[in-house]
A = this chain, B = another copy of it.
């Protein structure tokens, strides 16, 4: 019987959604073809690559598994051909982006656990995995990273990480831990976008 690898599908769908966000941002800055593909790739793979460098597990997985590069290439090509219609895909893109955000957070956390790191550091690694592709994208495009001042993004990852460890310590099964923590990242990100939530403004305390 064919066994469908759901995790793989979620993983590559998340990569594709991240690549699309990179390609769209690059086109807004009028980069050329090469620039668009590079920014798409960096947005999709940058977080995981930085994590692997930090925990000394380079070379990163995309050097051995060409499906990652292929996914980025195909989804960026789609953006190039269907730019005009991209607004129609906002909702599915947000869906896959948010699921990807959850999955990448959990993948980062599990890498940290495998190295016996403290839960706080594991959650940090999960957040780096999920968010730093976007940070590198924004720095390359000469904008202050959006996750630093505009969007609830990292907070969703941190919440998911906390859920992960609460479930882990309360003895939940692996499948439930994964599903529920990915879902809590997803939910928080969706709620943040729908209700335009932001982090509390720290500037009312000052001046």
Contacts and interface: CB of A to CB of B under 8 A. Distances in A.
Interface residues of A, number: 58
A84 B150 CA distance: 24
Contact of A147 (B34, B139, B143, B200): B34
Nearest to A135: B140
A140 B145 contact: yes
A56 B49 CA distance: 12
A58 to B, nearest CB: 4
Nearest to A41: B124
Interface string A25-61: 0110111111110110000000001000111101110
A50 to B, nearest CB: 10
A78 interface: no
B81 A205 contact: yes
Nearest to A132: B38
Interface in A107-136: 115, 117-118, 120-121, 124, 135
A166 to B, nearest CB: 19
A141 interface: yes
Looking at A32, A145, A155, the one whose CB has the most chain B CB atoms below 10 A away is: A32
Contacts of A202: 27, 32-33, 36, 80
A198 interface: yes
- 8 closest pairs, A vs B, by CB? A35-B148, A83-B206, A56-B58, A32-B199, A31-B149, A31-B148, A33-B199, A63-B121
Given A35-B145, A54-B58, A59-B115, 8 more contacts: A31-B148, A34-B199, A35-B149, A38-B148, A53-B58, A54-B60, A66-B121, A142-B143
